[in-house]
A and B are shown apart, each in its own frame.
Chain A
Amino acid sequence: MLELMKIGPGSRVEDLGRATGRAWGLAQGGAFDAPALQRANLLVGNAPGAAGIELASGPLRLRLHRDAWLAVCGAEFAITLDGRPQRMDWAFAAGAGQLLAIDGPLRGQRALLAVQGGLQGGARLLQAGESLQLGEPGRPPRVRGLHAPTWTPQLRALPAPEYQCLEPAQRERLWTQDWRVAPQSDRMGLRLQGEPLALRLGSLLSHGVQPGLLQLPPGGQPILLGVDAQATGGYPRLLCVIAADLWKLAQARPGAALRFQRCTPAAARAALAAQRADLDALACWLA
């Protein structure tokens, strides 16, 4: 059991979300930086999809009531256990009664805290004062740390169905312009600001959408859909960020200047295969 004494706003229990359910109008959900959750889980001996705590900001103060391995992956936060600094991307042992403190983020936007055994009770927003139940611990970690990917503001993307409705000059701007992340951005989507784009098309008949899709609402400021985006949409679809780069959306801070980088379907698949292979290799190594 964990006792949550303090928790930053927007922090949540998350797993990997729903594989299906879009046809019922259910959002995908899950950790916004899914690979970070998987890495943190593997470090503490959990299944990659076990539920952890997604921290959107500090401060976190929690006390363990049972021994457990812990790991934090994703955005860089300052971590201490009973006042002693701990590393990011590193499994560390915590004993019953010890106090975990996490503050930040120093870089990036969201980190995932995995606890050996995983968190129970389902995905939800967290409140201070809650007690969190843990599952049964898996094998203790055999490897202590791993190398985390570096965030860059380049998002590889593929043209989406209404891309060819944009005039050539606007298509050019889509790829070459800085798109700044607005403060109203959240897990539903990143609202991007830049010189507006315009399409003659108004609203479209409803269609299924997915995280990573770049929509163009009236007003000309695009929205990059996140994991909590609705299952269907009606705005023109300009681009789709490749699956291997979706984690970057979770780490983009308000004010960050993003750029879209034209990719190909083959390169997108290769990047996803590489990302999966890295996780599989980690899982074998840590097992």
Chain B
Amino acid sequence: MEARVLPQGEGALLLQIGAVDAAPEIGLQRRLLDLVARCWKPQPGVIELVPGIHNLLLRLDPLRADNATLRRLLLAAWEQAEAREPKGRLHELGVRYEGEDLEALAAHAGLSTREVVALHSGAVYDVAALGFQPGFAYLLGLPAALQMPRLAQPRLRVPAGSLAIGGALCGVYPAASPGGWRLIGHCEAPLFDGEPLLRPGDRVRFHPHA
């Protein structure tokens, strides 16, 4: 798998694994998270590591960072990293499966809504990365049958706690916001109260409320 290091402005370096529009892969993402957890030491001029899906952004102070060294270290760390079982917490989150798009998604999948609920809650998801909103976790591991592209026109307002599917990813919106993912349920878990509940390296299982 091809690893490249590119600048993103003079204040950031991006480690990009494979194509920028590839289908998300759990193994690749686990290797990236292993890089961050186990194969990277603090370096002068690096302010923060921001994992994405199949990429890692290093935010830099351009007047202190040595880009050539960082590039070399990033590629070496990628070579060293391995796709390991996530070692973080397993979160068991209760869900009311009654989202606005649940029926449409079931129809798209050629399944009944009950089958969708069984499939979705039967999977264990990796927390791949955080972003979009404080505490929003991109989850990997959605069964292929449930994948569905996001809406062409995002909703102006998705309620806080909405469980949603976008392409091959799913996630729960910590706060109300505009959003383009398919809404399939509602989750009450407090995803951000000063700190995120879900972290890269954690896993999540959803339990349907009776």
| Chains A and B are bound partners | yes
Is the CB–CB distance between A243 and B24 below 8 Å?
Answer: no
The answer to the question of B113 belonging to the interface, with a C-beta cut-off of 8 Å to chain A, is: no
Q: Which residues of A contact B (CB under 8 A)?
A: 19-26, 158, 160-162, 201-208, 210, 212-213, 230-232, 237, 240-243, 265, 268-269, 272-273, 276
Give me 20 other A-B pairs in contact (C-beta within 8 A), A25-B135, A232-B131, A276-B63 excluded. A19-B47, A20-B48, A23-B49, A25-B130, A158-B7, A160-B9, A201-B20, A204-B20, A205-B52, A205-B53, A205-B55, A207-B55, A208-B14, A208-B57, A210-B11, A212-B9, A230-B132, A232-B52, A265-B62, A272-B62
Name B10's contact: one of A22, A202, A242 (CB within 8 Å): A242
> Shortest beta-carbon distance, A220 to chain B, in Å?
16
The contact sample of 16 A-B pairs, CB cut-off 8 A, is: A19-B48, A23-B48, A24-B130, A25-B131, A25-B133, A203-B21, A205-B20, A210-B11, A230-B131, A231-B132, A232-B50, A240-B9, A242-B10, A265-B10, A268-B10, A269-B62
Specify which chain A residues have a CB less than 8 angstroms from the CB of B133 in the assembled complex. Answer: 25, 230
Specify which chain B residues have a CB less than 8 angstroms from the CB of A205 in the assembled complex. Answer: 20-22, 24, 52-55
Between B8, B9, B48, the greatest number of chain A beta carbons within 10 A of the residue's beta carbon is seen for: B9
Is the CB–CB distance between B50 and A231 below 8 Å?
Answer: yes
The 5 closest A-B pairs by CB, nearest first: A232-B131, A240-B9, A208-B57, A208-B50, A207-B52
Contact with A along B1-39 (1 / 0, CB 8 A): 000001111111010100011101000000000000000
Is the CB–CB distance between B21 and A204 below 8 Å?
Answer: yes
What's the Cα separation between A268 and B195 when bound, in Å? 34
The answer to the question of B86 belonging to the interface, with a C-beta cut-off of 8 Å to chain A, is: no
> Shortest beta-carbon distance, A27 to chain B, in Å?
8
Specify which chain B residues have a CB less than 8 angstroms from the CB of A22 in the assembled complex. Answer: 48, 50, 57, 59, 131
The answer to the question of B183 belonging to the interface, with a C-beta cut-off of 8 Å to chain A, is: no
Is the CB–CB distance between A237 and B8 below 8 Å?
Answer: yes
Specify which chain B residues have a CB less than 8 angstroms from the CB of A160 in the assembled complex. Answer: 8-9
Closest B residue by C-beta to A268: B10
Specify which chain A residues have a CB less than 8 angstroms from the CB of B134 in the assembled complex. Answer: 24-26
The answer to the question of B129 belonging to the interface, with a C-beta cut-off of 8 Å to chain A, is: yes
What's the Cα separation between A160 and B6 when bound, in Å? 8
> Shortest beta-carbon distance, B183 to chain A, in Å?
19
Interface size on B, residues (CB 8 A): 39
> Shortest beta-carbon distance, A218 to chain B, in Å?
9
Closest B residue by C-beta to A273: B63
Is the CB–CB distance between B9 and A161 below 8 Å?
Answer: no
The answer to the question of B97 belonging to the interface, with a C-beta cut-off of 8 Å to chain A, is: no
A-facing residues in B120-148 (Cβ within 8 Å): 129-136, 138
> Shortest beta-carbon distance, A101 to chain B, in Å?
37
Closest A residue by C-beta to B131: A232
> Shortest beta-carbon distance, B118 to chain A, in Å?
28
Specify which chain B residues have a CB less than 8 angstroms from the CB of A158 in the assembled complex. Answer: 7, 9-10
What's the Cα separation between A203 and B181 when bound, in Å? 14
Given contact pairs A23-B48, A23-B130, A161 touches B63 in the complex (Cβ within 8 A)? no
What's the Cα separation between A231 and B22 when bound, in Å? 21
> Shortest beta-carbon distance, B99 to chain A, in Å?
21
The answer to the question of B201 belonging to the interface, with a C-beta cut-off of 8 Å to chain A, is: no
Is the CB–CB distance between B8 and A20 below 8 Å?
Answer: no
Specify which chain A residues have a CB less than 8 angstroms from the CB of B48 in the assembled complex. Answer: 19-23
Given contact pairs A25-B196, A205-B52, A206-B138, A272 touches B10 in the complex (Cβ within 8 A)? yes
Is the CB–CB distance between B10 and A213 below 8 Å?
Answer: no
The answer to the question of B185 belonging to the interface, with a C-beta cut-off of 8 Å to chain A, is: no
What's the Cα separation between A268 and B47 when bound, in Å? 18
Closest B residue by C-beta to A201: B21
Name A243's contact: one of B14, B62, B67 (CB within 8 Å): B62
Specify which chain B residues have a CB less than 8 angstroms from the CB of A242 in the assembled complex. Answer: 9-10
Closest A residue by C-beta to B22: A205
Given contact pairs A23-B48, A23-B51, A269-B63, A243 touches B10 in the complex (Cβ within 8 A)? yes
Is the CB–CB distance between B8 and A213 below 8 Å?
Answer: yes
Closest A residue by C-beta to B14: A161
What's the Cα separation between A212 and B59 when bound, in Å? 13
Specify which chain B residues have a CB less than 8 angstroms from the CB of A210 in the assembled complex. Answer: 8-9, 11-12, 59
